[in-house]
Chains A and B, each alone.
Chain A
Amino acid sequence: MSMVTSTATGVVEHVDRGPLSIDELAAVIARDIPEGSYVNLGIGQPTRIADHLPEGSGVVLHTENGMLNMGPAAVGDEIDPDLTNAGKVPVTELPGAAFFHQADSFAMMRGGHLDVCVLGAYQVSAGGDLANWHTGRPGDIPAVGGAMDLAIGAKDVYVMMTLFSRTGEPKLVPCCTYPLTGRRCVSRVYTDHATFDVTPDGVRIRETWGGTAAELAARLDGVVTAR
């Protein structure tokens, strides 16, 4: 049994190991997606969560270019140029799949029918603001895709990201400095160091890897609310 401690406030701390790898993080998120949910996985890292969904989870994947019950990436003869995901990668369809046009695809999102989406992020604020579409740097070409629609549409918006930037700056911040994708829309943040709930009463640590909740909170500029 690894060294797992549970603090008095219910935080699970994995202190005998380092931070999670991307695939380990994807597995943690997959574990938390409720059975039978309709889920959109954002392009990039969140796509990997699909590989870790337990068999029989009944999770139905939505891809915003117009399909429900998307299957795994297509290989070899399965590749069909008319069947791709939102990242434009060839995919497969599962029995029970449905195709629909773009206005319907975003209506089901905006209309609150999608249970969960998982998005990457540059920054998330303590109030649940999301910044993930534009660096705001002069000369950078912005590209938003479906991120703003997903951010305000899904019932639960999870973020998957590293907790610190390559230069060591926290990405869970008091207030976003990057241009916003959506306001007060994130409910949970999954990172390599810890997972966090974003609640109306503040940010709470759920689980940590490679350190204690107290150590981590000290590195996060007052973002975490004590229980």
Chain B
Amino acid sequence: MGRAQLLDTCDEAVAGIEDGSTVLVGGFGFAGMPFDLVDALIRQGAKDLTIVSNNAGNGEVGLAALLRAGRVRKVLCSFPRQADSHVFDGLYRAGRVELEVVPQGNLAERMRAAGAGIGAFFCPTGVGTPLAEGKETRTIDGRDYVLEYPIRGDYALIAAHRADAMGNLVYRKTARNFGPVMATAAGTTIVQVNAVVAVGGLHPEAVVTPSIYVDRIVPVEARHYTVQGAR
């Protein structure tokens, strides 16, 4: 709604996220994970959250910390089980968190549909598999498709490389992953960036997420994690 707000702290950026919200969280493993915003969300205290993200937390930080804090009711993701997903695994096996597994491309496209005003779409992914059970199907030009519905977030928490003061965003390498799609699919899109530059400081040809999708921006100190050899 309106022009993006430029905020000083992550605590201000996540203010107002209500209990029971659906929160889209960017990142593929650690690349593009908005660690500072997730840490602020833990301090903020919202609970009973539905989290939409590619993974269900790695190691002890980011989403894994949010899960460990007991704030998550349900996770929609493509790849929960990994070498370092022990926090999620424990909660899931104890029946303390729900899981909906969504193929990675469907996760992205369902959010894209939400952001683009598409009511639903027929998708060939998953036809004849357990993940399509109970879903409407249609044969179009001899090929089978499954009807998939949009995934909309109340909030999106994403990490970009830089923003200008209007909220235009650029990303860095494969840390781009879900950011541009999630930015379009949430009621309120909150972005942590490594630097904010003046309006005009990003080349218009290079902008990946236009400012219209961005509601709150907060600069953070770059901090990096790597997962060597993770799956």
Q: Which A positions have Cβ atoms within 8 angstroms of B?
A: 43-44, 63-67, 79-84, 87-90, 93, 99-103, 105-107, 109-110, 129, 134, 139, 141-149, 152-153, 179-183
Contact = CB atoms under 8 A, between A and B. Distances in A.
B28 A103 contact: no
B138 interface: no
Contacts of A143: 78-82, 101
Contacts of B105: 64, 102, 105-107, 109-110, 146, 148-149, 153
A61 B195 CA distance: 31
Contact of A145 (B104, B130, B181): B104
A127 B110 CA distance: 30
Main secondary structure of the interface of A (DSSP, over half): loop
B contact residues, range = 35 or more
21 contacts: A63-B174, A81-B30, A81-B224, A81-B226, A82-B32, A82-B174, A88-B227, A90-B226, A99-B174, A102-B105, A103-B109, A103-B111, A103-B180, A110-B124, A142-B80, A143-B81, A148-B126, A148-B129, A153-B105, A153-B125, A182-B126
B139 interface: no
Contacts of A134: 130
A66 B177 contact: yes
Given A101-B179, A139-B93, 18 more contacts: A65-B174, A67-B174, A81-B30, A82-B31, A84-B28, A89-B228, A89-B229, A101-B177, A102-B54, A102-B104, A106-B104, A143-B101, A145-B78, A146-B78, A147-B103, A148-B103, A152-B127, A182-B126
Contacts of A149: 103-106, 125
Nearest to A130: B129
Contacts of B71: none
Interface in B154-185: 171-181
B181 A101 contact: yes
B78 A144 contact: yes
Contacts of B175: 81-83
Contacts of A79: 226
Contact of B31 (A88, A100, A181): A88
Nearest to B225: A81
